[in-house]
């Protein structure tokens, strides 16, 4: 018998079995994509993985901790420019530049998370909105370092000869490796006592506080970790396109991140992969349908997803798998 809203062991097993038939072919495809997919699709999938890593971070903040953040584009940009500048000026290896982007984004995310101790809902969204609208002008202001409106070219990793891969194929596997690590760490982070504490912080902060959960500490920590993943996603995005410009990090990107994790499924790790697919493909498909009405088509797709799948795609799949049992 299930007590309260917490899923029982049997329910969790049903959810795992519902995913298993999807995850095996998905993982097989991701591991072999450069060999079985066209080069342009491989390039697009690299972008999907980069977006998905950043989406994990926002899902931690919003889906698990219940904090609405509209400033995720700022951390995506922070990680991207940290990696780009460290490779361009300090000649760091691309792997080290990604780690540096993670550290810088985590530190800034902790600072940005302090308002979350006392604010929530729309009030917190307004504070993070300041980050969202200021990041692009800030980048343009320091044009002697960032390239301003012209942007910066980035040297993409070259495939070692022994791999036999093209440059796009090698970049894909580099991004896939970092994405797998981020998914693995995030999944373990929310699977144990930390995940239960975050659920308590989201649903009943006063009750969590009375049970000994340091609510303020968790709110700040989750902002730091979510921002760190946003920064890592931005750094990986650099490798996928080989160019960076401030117009790629507008407020629209932040709103798109929020919409994408809702479509993928709030409070789900695998929903971030759906979010990455949504961010990579839906805008371009909307433009293909009608370039003049791309925004309307994009919004219509989003509304349709919310109407038919209010729990998001992953939430709907898990619910269907449970109902069948």
- Comparing 77 with 26, the larger pLDDT belongs to 77
Other Cβ atoms within 10 Å of 76 Cβ, number: 32
Q: Tens digits of per-residue pLDDT, 143-194?
A: 888 888 888 888 888 889 888 889 999 999 999 999 999 999 999 888 877 7
Angle between helices 312-324 and 271-289 (to 10 degrees): 120
Q: What is the mean pLDDT of residues 228-233?
A: 96
In angstroms, how far is the first alpha carbon of the chain from the final one?
Answer: 15
pLDDT surpasses 80 at 292 = no
pLDDT surpasses 90 at 101 = yes
* C-alpha span between 207 and 273 (Å, rounded): 33
What's the pLDDT score for residue 5?
47
Q: How confident is the model at residue 320 (pLDDT cuts 50, 70, 90)?
A: low
CB 272, CB 48: distance < 8 Å: no
pLDDT surpasses 90 at 11 = no
For residue 41, which of 29, 53, 52 has the smallest C-alpha distance?
29
Q: What is the mean pLDDT of residues 107-117?
A: 83
What's the pLDDT score for residue 66?
83
Instruction: Give the residue carrying structure tokens 């619910």.
Output: 319
What's the pLDDT score for residue 124?
76
CA distances from 195 to 24, 191, 200 (A): 25, 6, 9
Q: Tens digits of per-residue pLDDT, 48-57?
A: 999 999 999 9
What's the pLDDT score for residue 203?
72
CA angle 192, 197, 202 (to 5 degrees): 130
Q: What is the model's pTM?
A: 0.88
* C-alpha span between 233 and 215 (Å, rounded): 27
What's the pLDDT score for residue 323?
54
Q: What is the mean pLDDT of residues 233-251?
A: 91
pLDDT surpasses 90 at 197 = no
Buried b (16+ CB within 10 A) or exposed e, 118-151: ebbeeebbebbbebbeebbeebbeeeeebbeeeb
Residue 61 DSSP symbol: I
Q: Poorest-confidence range of 74-83, 169-178, 259-268, 283-292?
A: 283-292
Other Cβ atoms within 10 Å of 5 Cβ, number: 7
pLDDT surpasses 80 at 212 = no
- Comparing 115 with 12, the larger pLDDT belongs to 115
What's the pLDDT score for residue 144?
86
């Amino acid at each position: 018998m299930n007590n309260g809203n917490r899923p029982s062991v049997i329910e969790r097993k049903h959810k795992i079995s519902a995913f298993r038939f999807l995850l095996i072919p998905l993982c097989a495809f991701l591991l072999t994509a450069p060999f079985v997919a066209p080069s342009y699709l491989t390039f697009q999938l690299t972008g999907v993985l980069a977006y998905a890593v950043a989406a994990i971070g926002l899902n931690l903040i919003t889906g698990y901790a219940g904090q609405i953040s509209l400033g995720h584009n700022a951390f995506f940009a922070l990680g991207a420019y940290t990696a780009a500048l460290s490779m361009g000026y300090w000649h760091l290896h691309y792997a080290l530049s990604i780690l540096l982007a993670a550290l810088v984004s985590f530190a800034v995310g902790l600072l940005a998370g302090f308002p979350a101790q006392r604010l929530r809902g729309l009030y917190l969204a307004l504070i993070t909105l300041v980050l969202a609208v200021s990041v692009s002008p800030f980048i343009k202001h320091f044009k002697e370092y960032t390239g301003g409106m012209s942007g910066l070219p980035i040297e993409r990793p070259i495939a070692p000869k022994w791999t036999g891969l093209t440059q796009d194929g090698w970049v894909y596997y580099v991004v896939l490796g970092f994405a797998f690590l981020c998914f693995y760490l995030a999944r373990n982070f929310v699977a144990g006592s930390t995940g239960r504490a975050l659920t308590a912080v989201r649903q009943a902060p006063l009750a969590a506080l009375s049970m000994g959960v340091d609510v303020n500490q968790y709110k700040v920590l989750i902002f730091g970790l979510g921002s760190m993943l946003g920064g890592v996603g931005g750094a990986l995005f650099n490798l996928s396109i080989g160019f960076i410009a401030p117009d790629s990090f507008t407020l629209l990107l932040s709103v798109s991140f929020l919409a994408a994790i809702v479509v993928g499924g709030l409070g789900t790790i695998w929903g971030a992969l759906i979010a990455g697919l949504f961010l990579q493909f839906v805008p371009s498909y909307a433009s293909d349908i009608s370039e003049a009405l791309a925004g309307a088509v994009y919004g219509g797709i989003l509304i349709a997803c919310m109407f038919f799948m209010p729990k998001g795609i992953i939430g709907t799949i898990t619910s269907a798998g449970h109902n069948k049992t």
